[in-house]
Amino acid sequence: MLTKQEIIDILKDDTNNEKLFLKADKLRQEHVGDEVHLRGLIEFSNICKCQCKYCGLRAPNKEVTRYRIYEDDIISYARNAADMGYKTMVLQSGEDEYFTVEKMVKIIKEIKKLGVALTLSIGEKSYDEYKAYKDAGADRYLIRIETTNPDLYAKMHPNMDFNKRIKCLYDIKSLGYETGTGCLVGLPGQTIEDLAQDILFFKEIDADMVGIGPLITHPQTPLKDENNGDFWLALKVMALTRIILPDINIPATTAMETLNPNGRIIALKSGANVVMPNVTSSEYRKKYEIYPNKICIHEEPDKCQNCISAKIKSIGRTIADNQGQSKHFLSK
């Protein structure tokens, strides 16, 4: 276990980065093996009531073309992805109030009939709502803390409450979900100390999955004149997360590939063991513009599956043929 000061020192010193990435890669291999898990990502609505300062889908952005994929189509995208071999689906959306508990429960039950694992990433809900989804069959839940600095959190998330977000994570955990969180790297005003604290938070909350990505500033948000996050710093935060939680699932994030053309492969060689290709059609992908220049927005599902599978195999890794539950979760 690293101390906060040790994490800070590693983050501040770039002379040993290669050693850090190698160490994370070695721990990844020892604890979760060479299999890479593909998750079929369904971004089913870009309608969002929130105002996160960094996010292109924030409610005040009137320039986005909003869309919502309705129940039957969500289910058919999931069926398609299952037919393509995906063993886990991830349902992600903005905080769209159309999708009531009743509607979500129906969707969850239908998708679970496909024999796949199901992850939800649909934001802050009440304990009872999380429980209803769990009872309907949802297996995993992703909700990034984004930053553990409460002041920075407040600045970035108007009308949101840091403590509510933490409570969501504890509710999700207590309901028996595989619990995923994560952070953004490069928020304006974020310090190396903040990032060290984020890493310690993942340990404290005992996360089963952690997603880390660099900030990519969106021109239609209040952060439009700020700098992007640094790819290598995000990679270091990810590698350190592998070191302190060696048996969790860590995705090579799309944001990493957006900042570096080989970002996902570099991440897979520096601690990551999951990739989440989009399985909806390009009609929707381009509208789910959390940040600009997102990869794969013109591709169709089969293209992404072939592309990423070939890349994964080219570095000597295999594509998992199982649901890829977090080993960390299973060992509790």
Q: Which residues bind ligand FES (CB under 6 A)?
A: 277, 296, 299, 303-304, 307-308
Q: Is 59 in the site for ligand 5AD (CB under 6 A)?
A: no
Q: Which pair of structure tokens corresponds to residue 129?
A: 């709502």
Q: Which residue of this chain has its Cβ atom nearest to ligand 5AD in the complex?
A: 291
Q: How far is the CB of 230 from ligand FES (least distance, A)?
A: 23
Count of residues of this chain found to bind ligand 5AD when the rule CB under 6 A is applied: 12
The C-alpha atoms of residue 222 and residue 21 are separated, in whole angstroms, by 34
Q: How far is the CB of 254 from ligand FES (least distance, A)?
A: 9
Q: Which residues ranging from 269 to 298 are in contact with ligand 5AD (CB under 6 A)?
A: 290-291
Choose the contact partner of 304 out of ligand FES, ligand 5AD, none; CB within 5 to 8 A by kind. ligand FES
Stretch near ligand 5AD under the rule CB under 6 A, chosen from 104-112, 148-156, 214-222, 237-245: 214-222
Q: How far is the CB of 302 from ligand 5AD (least distance, A)?
A: 24
Report the alpha-carbon angle 192-236-42, nearest 5. 105
Choose the contact partner of 299 out of ligand 5AD, ligand FES, none; CB within 5 to 8 A by kind. ligand FES
The C-alpha atoms of residue 332 and residue 323 are separated, in whole angstroms, by 18
Please pick, from the candidates 240, 255, 265, 275, the single residue that binds ligand 5AD as defined by CB under 6 A: 255
Q: How far is the CB of 218 from ligand 5AD (least distance, A)?
A: 5
> Who contacts 177 (Cβ-Cβ below 8 Å, separation ≥6)?
130, 134, 138, 139, 140, 141
> Who contacts 4 (Cβ-Cβ below 8 Å, separation ≥6)?
193, 196, 197, 200
Residue 36 phi/psi, 5° resolution? -110, 130
How far is the CA of 76 from the CAs of 83, 111, 259, 320, in angstroms?
10, 9, 32, 23
The C-alpha atoms of residue 318 and residue 153 are separated, in whole angstroms, by 38
- Binding positions for ligand 5AD, rule: CB under 6 A: 54-55, 144, 146, 184, 213, 215-216, 218, 255, 290-291
